[in-house]
Amino acid sequence: MKTYRIATIPGDGIGKEVVPAGRQALEALAARSDAFRFEFENFDWGGDYYRQHGVMMPADGLDALRDKDAILFGSAGDPHIPDHITLWGLRLKICQGFDQYANVRPTRILPGIDAPLKRCKPADLDWVIVRENSEGEYAGIGGRAHQGHPIEVATDVSIMTRAGVERVLRFAFRLAQSRPRKLLTVITKSNAQRHAMVMWDEIALQVSREFPDVKWDKELVDAATARMVNRPASLDTIVATNLHADILSDLAAALAGSLGIAPTANLDPERRYPSMFEPIHGSAFDIMGKGLANPVGTFWSVVMMLEHLGETGAAKLVMNAIEQVTANPSLHTGDLGGNATTAQVTDAVCQHIAAHARPALAA
């Protein structure tokens, strides 16, 4: 029997509700599997920890995570703490500390979801966005001088390294190659950003030669937003810089019907460190503590975690459970226009897992 060591970090707001829901689904799987079990360790890092200790996580926090097989993360963000502190003090510290350079964001219109694009059939929108997750606009390079004076100055310098660009583009080409359509769109802005993005384009061309069976094209990031709305079926795998993909992935999630559904994997493809899985939504303080959060984004993140661990049968089972739930409007939470609770959706997913575990987990 295989044991996977999973760190759970609920973080702030509704993260504290959806991460336990994700853990419940994992426990429902393990209860019916002869092949694997989970060993969980929970970390109470985030805004409350910051109020007590003055930091979002302890200085040696990464060491506590280092030997885990995966991390399930909720959200970081607190209305009483500046966003750049919550972000840099926890989530980015883990992503960058563990060199999780490939951020993967699948988007589909799940059964039963009323998506806003009226001319788009659900099958037309099946994308995976690969976000560069270690440098670029999020490199953290810059500073401020003359603070509070009329001549105040501030810089945020985007850093692109050849090695960093090459590895994420290679990851994206490989992912595109593994999908049925073998289609990749490389997002750029090399018309305006005439140094780093020109290098990005050059490296895309170089890496593309390793993947002759992948069809690829380039799209400027602004034009890409229009293309996502007007010609969704022309896209499949998409790769973009840290900030470009941040923006495009919110648009993608909205076009698929709700931010509450979308998942993310922060991957170290070389598996030197644990990878981290999280719903794309934020801490949503307006609904926190009410049991109204949509746990589907976390369940889908759990699917990505299981895929990463190589448990493909279990991953498919959880994805089927999610699709059963979304297909049933009485199990829609508020973000989808329904009034189901986190607990009702979680129970339905766990029941589906229990009912279908036999053939699925034996396979």
What are the residues binding Mg ion (CB under 5 A)? 246
Question: Which is nearer to ligand IPM, 61 or 89 (by Cβ)?
Answer: 89
Strand partners of residue 144: 154
Q: Let me know: does 97 contact 206? Beta carbons within 8 Å.
A: no
Count of Cβ atoms closer than 10 Å to residue 66 Cβ: 14
Judged by beta carbon, residue 23 or residue 244, the one nearer ligand IPM is: 244
Sign of CA dihedral 323, 325, 327, 333: negative
Q: Smallest gap, in angstroms, from Cβ of residue 342 to ligand IPM?
A: 21
CA 139 to chain centre: 19
CA distances from 289 to 94, 293, 302 (A): 26, 9, 22
> Which residues in this chain contact ligand IPM in the complex, by CB under 6 A?
87, 246, 280, 282
Residue 136 CB, shortest distance to Mg ion, in Å, is 14
Whose Cβ is closer to ligand IPM: residue 75's or residue 346's? Answer: 75
Q: How far is the CB of 240 from ligand IPM (least distance, A)?
A: 12
Angle, helices 342-362/312-326, rounded to nearest 10 degrees: 140
Shortest distance (Å) from residue 361 CB to ligand IPM: 31
Task: Specify the residue, 74 or 232, whose C-beta has the smaller distance to ligand IPM.
Answer: 74
Q: Report the residue count for the chain.
A: 363
CB neighbour list of residue 331: distance below 8 Å, 6 or more residues apart = 325, 338, 340, 344, 345, 348
Q: Choose the one of Mg ion, ligand IPM, none that binds residue 87, judging by a C-beta under 5 to 8 angstroms depending on kind.
A: ligand IPM
Q: In what order do the strands lie in the sheet with 237-240?
A: 36-42, 2-11, 70-75, 275-279, 263-267, 102-108, 126-132, 237-240, 183-188, 215-220
In this complex, which beta carbon is closest to Mg ion, that of residue 246 or of residue 268? 246
Instruction: Residue 149: count other Cβ atoms within 10 Å of its Cβ.
Output: 8
If the CB atoms of residues 112 and 282 are measured against ligand IPM, the closer one turns out to be 282
Q: How far apart are CA 141 and CA 105, in angstroms?
A: 25
C-alpha 260/C-alpha 242 separation (Å) is 21
**Cβ of residue 20: shortest distance to Mg ion, in angstroms?**
23
Residue 7 token pair = 């760190």
Q: Looking at beta carbons, which residue is closest to Mg ion?
A: 246
Q: Which is nearer to Mg ion, 23 or 281 (CB)?
A: 281
Nearest distance from C-beta of residue 253 to Mg ion, angstroms: 9
CB of 280 to Mg ion, least distance (A): 7
